[in-house]
Amino acid sequence: MIRLVPNHAARIKRSEKVTFTFDGMPVEGHDGEMLVSALVRANILTLRHAPHDAAPRGAFCCMGLCQECAVVVKGQTVEACRTEVTADLVVERV
């Protein structure tokens, strides 16, 4: 099939894979990538539940504004879209 927009997927070289945990589960990600990116690739979309109706929520704005991707790292609430994946990163739910 003719493509006018080339598929670049095979030409992307990523950093080494590291394992971190999300809510106790081991998840693989690339060292230094946006945490949301690693979670999306692992098909982990529900990051928290809304405070009033407990509805599932996940990353939305991906630029540090909406706070939907809030997770806990080292006891501090952080945005998963502004957190980098590192080996042994421990991510918990809010």
Partner 1 sequence: MSDSFDIAIVGAGPAGGHAALSAVKSGLRVVLLDEQAAAGGQVWRCKSTSIVSAPMTPESLAGNTLRKALAESAVTHHHDTRVWDIRREDDQWQLQILKNAKSSQIHARSLILATGAREHVQPVPGWTTPGVIGLAGATALFKQSLTLPGKRTVVSGTGPLVFYVASEIRRLGGTVAAVVTPNSRTDWARVLPAMALQPKLVARGALWVADLMLAGAPILWGHAVSRVSGHDHATGVATRNLARGTDGPSIEADSVCLGHGLIPNIEAAQMLGVPIRHDPALGGWVPEAEPDGRTPVEGLYLCGDGCGIRGVTAAGLQGTLVGARVARDLGKSSPKPSLRPWQRAARFGQAMTALSLPRPDLEALSTDDLILCRCESLTRADIIAEIDTGAASTNAVKSGRRACMGPCGGKYCQSVIATLIADRTGKDAKDIPPPTPRPPLRPIPLGQAAGAFDYDDLPIPKPAPL
Q: Which of 54, 63, 61, 57 has the alpha carbon at shortest distance from 44? A: 57
Residue 85 makes contact with partner 1 by CB under 8 A:
yes
Of 21 and 45, which CB lies nearer to partner 1 in the complex structure?
45
Kindly tell me which residue out of 23, 42, 68, 73 binds partner 1, with binding defined by CB under 8 A.
68
Residue 88 makes contact with partner 1 by CB under 8 A:
no
Rounded Cα gap, residues 45 and 38, in angstroms:
10
Touching partner 1, residues 24-63 (CB under 8 A):
29-34, 36-37, 40-41, 45-47, 50-53, 55-63
Distance linking the first and last C-alpha atoms of the chain: 46
**DSSP 3-state assignment of 82?**
helix
Residue 5 makes contact with partner 1 by CB under 8 A:
yes
Q: What residue ranges bind partner 1 (CB under 8 A)?
A: 1-15, 29-34, 36-37, 40-41, 45-47, 50-53, 55-68, 70, 76-77, 81-82, 84-85
